[in-house]
Structure 1
Amino acid sequence: MPRRPTAASPATPRPKSRPPPLRRPASPRPSRPTRRRTPPRRPSRPRRRRHPRSRSPRKNRSPSPSPRRRPPSPPRRGLPSPPPRPRSRPPRGPPRAAGFGASGAGLGPRAAEGGDATYVTPLVRKLAADNGVDLATVQGSGVGGRIRKQDVLDAAEAAKKPQAPAAAQSAPSAPAPQSAKAGTTEKVTRLRATIARRMKESLEVSAQLTATVEVDLTAISRIRAQVKDDFKAREGVSLSYLPFISKAAVEGLRQFPKLNATIDTEAGQITYAASEDLGIAVDTEKGLLVPVIKDAGDLTVAGLAKRIGDLGARTRANKVGPDELTGGTFTITNYGSAGTLMDTPIINQPQVAILGTGAMVKRPVVISDPELGDIIAVRDMMYLSLTYDHRLVDGADAARYLSFVKARLEEGEFGAEFGL
């Protein structure tokens, strides 16, 4: 809104429009070469300015204690990068003794110079010097190989004992003697040919299986220990385990007649033997022979022992007749006499079963005591293996027969025959 003039300030006429100022004519600009447009740069992070007081004049500046490290250069292409240089630090404090824990307690004199760090107390060192013991040769029995007083005393006592002379170097053992038959050829004997033919025929004719039980013969061993010396002096033969096993075997044949029988599949007949004719396999120089004890079921243990001893001696001396080698109904083979624990014997045809006796060994077993319960004791144990013809004898029949023989032997009720 225009201001009205007053009496004190007379109105002045407003000038008309002013002329434009004079300007110098613009000179033509030279043409600039066209430039390639580049993307705008990212604004750089502003540098942090230090406080002016922290700066000192250049002439008064002290040299920095540690110069700036140069950053590692990148590895060249195709060349392996060098391993980093380890930073070495000076060790802090004195070194600790080895073998004395993390605390370093127990530092003291050492057993010997030259790197042995075994701790030795002054008392042990003085004791070693008095007895002339070199501590470098003593093996410590303490913690961390520490040499104790007893170690020094033992070393001194061992030094006083006279040393035995060094044993002479043993001569190289001579090679085992070679058999005279090595590298030779001989004709098959008549007996060996008969054994080979009959064993092969037995496997081809019958279906043979083997069952095994473990028998505790400790009761039999106690009876033998009491009567074997008097028996040998009176009868002239040894009382072994075989007569006891033979007695239990023939008693089992009477309980289970299938194992004392023969079978003829072509005729369709099973023949049960009227008596227990027991064959005993005997190892001879010519081969295996099986003499037969007729009516073995009627004999006692002492009678069986005498017959087994007599037949075995005459068979090895080749003084048995042909009638004594035939007619058996059941066979026992004692391969345990050569150390065998268990075997699978082959049936002697036309029989249907054969019993094998293994070696007797002492072994800890669990037994049931009526007062103490189940306890562990060392017992005389033996394996009995029965090979049977499955054409006539089933597995259950074989198992029942072996269980009967096992129970009869473990009971040990044979003392009455010897007056016990």
Structure 2
Amino acid sequence: MAKYTHPMPDIGEGITEAEIVTWQKKVGDMVHEDEEVVDMMTDKATVPLESPVTGRLVAIAGEAGDMVAIGSPIFVIEVEGDVPEDVVEEAVAVEAAPAPAPEPTPEPEEPLPLREGVGDGGSASETSETHPPAPSRAGGGEKVLATPAVRARARDLGIDLAQVKPAEDGRIRHADLDAFISYSGGFSGAGKTRADEQIKVIGLRKRIAENMQAAKRNIPHFTYVEECDVTELERTRAQLNENREAKGQERPKLTMLPLLITAICKALPDFPMINARFDDEARVVTRHGSVHLGMATMTGNGLIVPVIRDAQGKNLFQLANEITRLANAARDGTAKSEELSGSTLTITSLGPLGGVATTPVINRPEVAIIGPNRIVERPMFVTGADGVERIEKRKLMNISISCDHRVVDGYDAAAFVQALKKLIEAPATILAG
């Protein structure tokens, strides 16, 4: 029998440590060659680590949420016979290779001692629901008599058995509960009581928390909101989709988002301070000529921001395809590292749940984030071509923008949104070359 110690590999990109997200195997499990053992997360993405040998997992380096330095042991596999020489050489090379450090990074934590006989460590802390002790008669200390079924029903209904009077022999029955319900309307609470639970903040949720905290701590936010009439824009969108279907074209169905992105890209050249990134340490603002648009996407694991590269060079249908592709990749975990970084401006939308107005948090180190809100229908005064003012039902949507006040002045943010509003309310200007 021999033991193979697998070191944390050098993932590159200046990474000096990674976080344990989920153990796919627990100590004592058999592991086959090329079988996944643990998921590790860097600042960029989640990386699965596989075993290069077949054997039994006998030790691991920590629990979910712990950090492991590059080159440090991450798990130990006990194998039959000797460990293949090429596997040993590869492990030694990984452990010996110094982690690149292109820029100053925090010192990694000390390597964690390998733990033998520890469970999988990948699940959140679990709590078992406990039932409260049987209630006593108010003021008397006498125990309430009732069967377990009656107690369970009373607990589900939110009824304190101490307040229920039994009809006979001092024991509360279902009929007594029915009578209490009939004569005590409004007795129950608004909802059911749930057991407390503790969820460890790890992996992507931890990264989101750190990024949001850093953004709010370092960036003086301000938010500007404007109302836009999107009646004509919605009509244009519907016409484009109808034309596509009539001609049998293999083009994606357009949502509002590609039209909004196109309008943003058309407005940005006159407002370069919006499409920018701010390096806090170097005190340098970079105004970008290309629009690499971050698209805040909700996934089962939390908020991820895939990036539409060179959005300004794509037409409506190319944008629609890219939006769908990136959103799917973010949700199923196949998005590449380069597709999740390098954005110069972010758009975030909750669609029908968007609310009247939002105050989105900037995706640092960008200096602005745009949030289209829910479309609502309301009566509006509209002046017709004949100069007569009349009331019409119109579709309205608020556009929110949060900006870094160190870089963007309030006037500039307002002027940009007004330019965006002008484009949105005259869709022909969006489609014009």
What is the aligned partner in structure 2 of residue 382 from structure 1?
A: 397
1:238 CA drift (Å): 2.9
Task: Report if aligned partners of 2:259, 2:430 keep a CA contact under 8 Å in 1.
Answer: no
Q: TM-score, normalised by structure 1?
A: 0.54
Q: 2:329 aligns with which of 314, 323, 331?
A: 314
Q: Secondary structure of 2:366's partner?
A: coil
1:268 CA drift (Å): 3.4
Distance 2:330 2:190 in 1: 31
What is the aligned partner in structure 2 of residue 280 from structure 1?
A: 295
217 and 275 in structure 1: CA distance in 2 versus 1, 3 angstrom threshold: same
345 and 182 in structure 1: CA distance in 2 versus 1, 3 angstrom threshold: farther
The structure with the greater share of residues assigned to strand is 2
The one-letter code sitting in structure 2 at the alignment partner of 1:184 is E
State yes or no: 1:214 paired with 2:238: no
What is the aligned partner in structure 2 of residue 49 from structure 1?
A: none
Q: Secondary structure of 2:215's partner?
A: helix
Task: Report if aligned partners of 2:252, 2:320 keep a CA contact under 8 Å in 1.
Answer: yes
Task: Report if aligned partners of 1:280, 1:291 keep a CA contact under 8 Å in 2.
Answer: yes
Q: Secondary structure of 1:358's partner?
A: strand
Q: Give the structure with higher Rg (CA).
A: 1
Q: Secondary structure of 1:314's partner?
A: helix
Q: 1:359 aligns with which of 360, 371, 374?
A: 374
Q: Secondary structure of 2:223's partner?
A: strand
What is the aligned partner in structure 2 of residue 342 from structure 1?
A: 357
Distance 1:335 1:294 in 2: 22
State yes or no: 1:304 paired with 2:319: yes
Structure 2: runs of 5+ lacking an equivalent: 1-188
State yes or no: 1:258 paired with 2:273: yes
What is the aligned partner in structure 2 of residue 108 from structure 1?
A: none
What is the aligned partner in structure 2 of residue 196 from structure 1?
A: 209
Distance 1:411 1:403 in 2: 12
Task: Report if aligned partners of 1:334, 1:358 keep a CA contact under 8 Å in 2.
Answer: yes
Q: 2:421 aligns with which of 387, 393, 406?
A: 406
The one-letter code sitting in structure 1 at the alignment partner of 2:424 is L
Distance 1:301 1:310 in 2: 14
The one-letter code sitting in structure 2 at the alignment partner of 1:334 is S
185 and 395 in structure 1: CA distance in 2 versus 1, 3 angstrom threshold: same
Task: Report if aligned partners of 2:263, 2:430 keep a CA contact under 8 Å in 1.
Answer: no
228 and 293 in structure 1: CA distance in 2 versus 1, 3 angstrom threshold: same
Structure 1: runs of 5+ lacking an equivalent: 1-174
367 and 241 in structure 1: CA distance in 2 versus 1, 3 angstrom threshold: same
What is the aligned partner in structure 1 of residue 408 from structure 2?
A: 393
What is the aligned partner in structure 1 of residue 307 from structure 2?
A: 292
Residues 291-310 of structure 1, C-alpha deviations (whole Å, 9 max, x = no match): 00000011112221111111
Identity %: 35
Q: Secondary structure of 2:200's partner?
A: coil
326 and 412 in structure 1: CA distance in 2 versus 1, 3 angstrom threshold: same
1:176 CA drift (Å): 10
Task: Report if aligned partners of 2:423, 2:429 keep a CA contact under 8 Å in 1.
Answer: no
Where in structure 1 do 4 or more consecutive aligned residues deviate above 6 Å? 175-179
Q: Secondary structure of 2:369's partner?
A: strand
Q: Secondary structure of 1:362's partner?
A: strand
